[in-house]
Amino acid sequence: MIRDLTTHTAILTSFLFIAGQIFRRYPTDLNMYTKALTGIVAGVLGSILMIVYSIPVGDYAQIDLRFFAIVLATWYGGAMASLLTAIIIGSSGIFFFEWSAFSITSCLTMILISLFCIFLSRTGLSSLKKSIAMNVTAIVVVMFSFYLQMEDRDVLMQIYIAILAAGLPSGFFLSFVADYIKKSNIQFHNLKSISSKDFLTGINNVRRFDELMNANVKKARKTGKHLSILIIDIDHFKMVNDTYGHPAGDAVLKQLARILERNARNKEEVSRNGGEEFSVLLYDCSLEKAGKMAEAIRQAIESEDFILPDSTGIMLTSSIGVACYPENVSRPELLFETADRGLYAAKRSGRNRVGYAAEEAAERKTETGQCI
């Protein structure tokens, strides 16, 4: 019996590590679809432990560690995944085994465990203490369920011994493993964020911009769709630093990043390329649409009251360069250079403008310095 329960623990541990790898990309936030999928997978896992690996004790009872699947679902997917797992496991017991008071009670026990786990997951305990509390609570609820149903006290003692001998060590072990995996995933997520996000503004840094640029260039070449870029530069930004100090300049850059995020299609398109220079990368966006977005951004910056650390409000303007493959750039790898020349064309024309510059090529007429 102990050997069989140890097998359960090994299966659950394998599930933990597989789930940890799957959820590594979003360790702290899951959408509804992923939560539902987590509940379904954990429910199937618990049902397999019950149907395939259950251990008969006496004439009617059987034990397994299916309840740990509910704990894991709560740990990874929250309330929705937890309840879905409990319902799937409970329903499987009624469906695959004969309809009886025992199977119905077992189903209700799974739901009760889920409710306790949901409650514990929302307490202020540390992640490790939460996991241990959920596992211990699940074991206590299962033992109490057997107490209500088993008349043969000798068999009941065998069940208790098996659950305590294998369940408690397994519960503690799974708690430490789950806590280790979750903390590792959070650390991985944080390191990934540090490597791809600008430390000051929180948007993409130049390294992430290069990755997105290369990926979108390949995609644009393959699909033949438009790829546009906006390069935004704050006019006379050096004067802000010289007049109000670098903390004021940092405050301006942070607020500018928020303006760009509000006006872009999604936050992943916005990057800080260095200093006061920002960019917005737009896949499947024509030159006309990119120009309209650039003008909307320019107007938003011009009308913004930038608040400095000392609560002083200042008004600023920006110059923006626009380029689009294949409309005014024949090769997507020249997008940034062309938009950059459009930016400087806007600055030479008086600043606070959107500028365009055509790619310089022998077979094309060069029209550098068009501004609106």
C-alpha to C-alpha distance for 212 and 215, rounded to whole angstroms = 5
Mean pLDDT value of segment 187-216: 88
pLDDT digits over 342-356, tens only? 999 999 999 999 999
Q: Sheet of 318-325: strands edge to edge?
A: 270-274, 277-283, 227-234, 318-325, 354-356, 370-371
Model pLDDT, residue 31: 76
Domains and CATH numbers, the chain: 2-195 (1.10.1760), 206-371 (3.30.70.270)
Sign of CA dihedral 160, 161, 163, 164: positive
C-alpha to C-alpha distance for 41 and 19, rounded to whole angstroms = 10
Mean pLDDT value of segment 138-147: 88
Share of the chain above pLDDT 90, in %: 44
Burial of 96 (0-12, 13-18, 19+ CB in 10 A): exposed
pLDDT digits over 19-45, tens only? 777 777 665 566 788 888 888 988 888
Mean pLDDT value of segment 68-80: 86
- Cβ distance 346 to 291 under 8 Å? no
pLDDT digits over 318-333, tens only? 999 999 999 988 888 8
Q: Tell me the pLDDT band of 367, cut-offs 50, 70 and 90.
A: very low
Say if pTM beats, i.e. exceeds, 0.85.
Answer: no
Asked whether the bond before 247 is cis by omega within 30 degrees of 0, the reply is no
Mean pLDDT value of segment 201-222: 92
- Cβ distance 154 to 168 under 8 Å? no
Please say if the pLDDT value at position 269 is more than 80: yes
C-alpha to C-alpha distance for 227 and 217, rounded to whole angstroms = 7
- The whole-chain average pLDDT of the chain stands at 85
Question: CA angle, corner 234, sides to 294 and 205, nearest 5?
Answer: 80
Pick 248 or 266 by higher pLDDT: 248
Sign of CA dihedral 181, 187, 190, 191: negative
Entry field: residues in the chain: 372
Model pLDDT, residue 372: 47
Burial of 45 (0-12, 13-18, 19+ CB in 10 A): buried
